[in-house]
Amino acid sequence: MSNNQFDRPRTVVITGASAGIGRAIAREFAKEHARIGLIARNQEGLEGARKEIEALGGEALVLPVDVADFRALDEAAGKVEETFGPIDVWINNAMTSVLGLFKDVDMDEFKRVTEVTYLGSVYGAKCALKRMQPRNRGSIVFVGSALAYRGIPLQTAYCGAKHAIEGFYDSLRSELVHENSNVMTTMVQLPGVNTTQFGLVRNKLDKQPRPMGTIYQPEVAARAVVTAAGTNDREYYVGLPAVQTILSSKLFPGLMDLFLGKSAVSGQKTDKDATHHQDYLFESVPGDHGSHGDFDDKAKNSGIVMKGSTVRALTSALVFGTVIAATSLITSSLTRR
């Protein structure tokens, strides 16, 4: 179902649009004939996305830009509005990562992940709000992760950046409430997804990497993002593992430390030896890499999507029920005495 409430096709900007989840999001918006500004570094991947969008009835503008460069990103936003008109939706999706123990990660690598994944989202929000706030309308979606709530081994830089986005988002949303703004914001927390990043990421492990836990196809995430873009709901959680991870991190953080410390390192490795290849940390990797990674045989094509408010209500009910049950047991025991 389309979320388009306009009398014209929506103008959408997607960062990280050349591959993976961003590429899948672009296809979903194209189905409603959106006009889409495609932002990423990889020219070939962006051209591939453009062809897919046009085949689905949308329009596309290819903008090879590094989201860590604020001026270039702002100029790209201006080109989108010159070409397609006012930006209605901005999707902050671009990311990069390094897989390895923190002791093995160089600080220039850590900085680069932070600049792309965290500051890229901050810069994107700035570019979007610069144009949306004067019109008092628009929607900004932050593509998050269960790892915005629960850090795991081997991904210190990425988890730190996702946590930072969550904190920034909290502050920004509060400011928009203070200003009685009609600009909508939401954050979509994702599970492990079968994207191209696991073949392109800088890998310091002895084995080739894989997503942690249950794996979902990029289209599952993309559909949730497009749904979220039409709402002002605070958060969406995609896939049962994301819900479980976030709830467990809130209720049992110490146990999660132990569980992940024992299982998450091996859980992010395949049985294939690591190979040395060009990675996408500092420069794009040539070629059109598409949206799917190497785990099609393991990835799910559907998954639950829950509003954060629903999950929090369930958590409160669970905690309240546990307290009541414990109180009842204690009272019964005292009465028997």
Query: What's the per-residue H, E or C state across the chain?
Result: CCCCCCCCCCEEEEECCCCHHHHHHHHHHHCCCCEEEEEECCHHHHHHHHHHHHHCCCEEEEEECCCCCHHHHHHHHHHHHHHHCCCCEEEECCCCCEECCHHHCCHHHHHHHHHHHHHHHHHHHHHHHHHHHHHCCCEEEEECCHHHCCCCCCCHHHHHHHHHHHHHHHHHHHHHHHCCCCCEEEEEECCEECCCHHHHCEECCCEEECCCCCEECHHHHHHHHHHHCCCCCCEEEECHHHHHHHHHHHHCHHHHHHHHHHHCCHHHEEEEECCCCCCCCCCCCCCCCCCCCCCCCCCECCCCEEEHHHHHHHHHHHHHHHHHHHHHHHHHHHHHC
Quick one: tokens of 97?
């990562």
158 is an active site residue: yes
Hey, CA dihedral for 100, 104, 109, 113, is it positive or negative?
positive
Backbone torsions φ then ψ of 269, nearest 5 degrees: -120, 140
Helix axes 20-30, 218-228, angle to 10 degrees: 60
Nearest-angstrom CA–CA distance, 19 and 213? 22
In angstroms, rounded to a whole number, what is the distance separating the alpha carbons of residues 19 and 199?
Answer: 12
* Catalytically annotated residue among 123, 149, 158, 169: 158
CA distance 336 to 333: 5
Catalytic residues: 158
